[in-house]
Amino acid sequence: MADFLLEELGGRTYYIPGPVNIGLYVDEGNVYLIDSGNDKDAGRKVGKIIRERGWNLEMIINTHSNADHIGGNQFLQKSFSCRIGASQKEIPFIEYPEFEPMFLWGGYPHRKIEHKFLQAQPSHVTDVLAAGQTLGDSGLGIVGLPGHFIDMIGINTPDGILFAADALFSEHIINKYHIFYLFDLEQFLSTLNYLDQCTGRIIVPSHALPAESREDLHALIEINRNKIAEICQVIENICKEPKSPDEIIADICSWYHLEMSSAQYVLIGSTVRSYLGYLEKKERIRTIPEAYMMKWLST
């Protein structure tokens, strides 16, 4: 992994670009870190940046519990004895990271998905955070951004910068993978609507460049919306004949020419089931029992 570079966004707000953008807000030498990267090595490099500047790591704020956002937690907490804050429903996955592959797989996970991409090292959450809360005297505001995962949050800094976590994805990721992980499509779309109305100066997604203009942000939001609408239509077309979830997954991967690893199968499979739940709720598809299987059929 290349050395991380600290970039100033404005005032006391910084970020470290990378596979997962890591945010920093520095309040009188005390650092509030927004996510910690995807592994121990990321944590080590973040810690080096903090120490070189004579800062103190006060708290890691985890926007959500996916392994690529909490991977540096354990190393940094041991190194700095820092606090860790997260929303209530994400805490079990941070303290017991083995829950993530269990959750995604829907049962006892097989060994090929028990790796750092889906399972971080455990860390201890000290602070329960909730949307609408201001974090002590720091002025950092907690914003609810549900949809991608169970109870994701974003962080507003006093400099007018919103760290938006996985509330939207880059055009590159969407064009490459098509099916990005979603837990609750309806909430994700509502979160996109919220972001479209945001008045913050800069929006920083975790997996895209900072959006520094309303035009850039709106364009990225539309790319996310359009891909979701497209996938919904693809699933409806697939389900013109009764299909099992595994048949739907196979047809979608064939349609988008997606190569399938164990991790990708788990993420795509879980996301497709979320699409099925959303489309059934919207009465665009329905379930039917057939040949000892639950199948899905367009209405």
Phi, psi of 24 (to 5 degrees): -135, 135
Q: Are residues 55 and 141 in the same domain?
A: yes
206 located within any domain: no
Angle between helix 185-196 and 262-281 (nearest 10): 80
- Is this prediction's pTM over 0.85? yes
Question: Over 90: is that where the pLDDT of 259 sits?
Answer: no
260 located within any domain: yes
209 located within any domain: no
Can you tell me whether residue 290 is helix, strand or coil? Answer: strand
Mean pLDDT of the chain: 96
Q: Are residues 132 and 19 in the same domain?
A: yes
Give me the number of domains the chain comprises. Answer: 2
Spell out a b/e string for 232-271, using b for 16 or more CB atoms within 10 Å of the CB, else e. Answer: bebbbebbeebbeeebbbebbbeeeebeeebeebbbbbbb
Boundary of a domain, candidates 167, 187, 216: 167
Tokens representing 268 are 């795509």
179 located within any domain: no
Q: Are residues 240 and 98 in the same domain?
A: no
Higher pLDDT, 161 or 3: 161
Question: Over 70: is that where the pLDDT of 2 sits?
Answer: no
Placement of tokens 């269990």 in the chain: 102
Q: Are residues 44 and 146 in the same domain?
A: yes
Boundary of a domain, candidates 136, 167, 198: 167
227 located within any domain: no
> Per residue in 35-67, pLDDT tens?
999 999 999 999 999 999 999 999 999 999 999
Boundary of a domain, candidates 118, 141, 167: 167
Domain that holds residue 261: 236-298
Q: Are residues 241 and 130 in the same domain?
A: no
CATH number at residue 281: 1.10.10
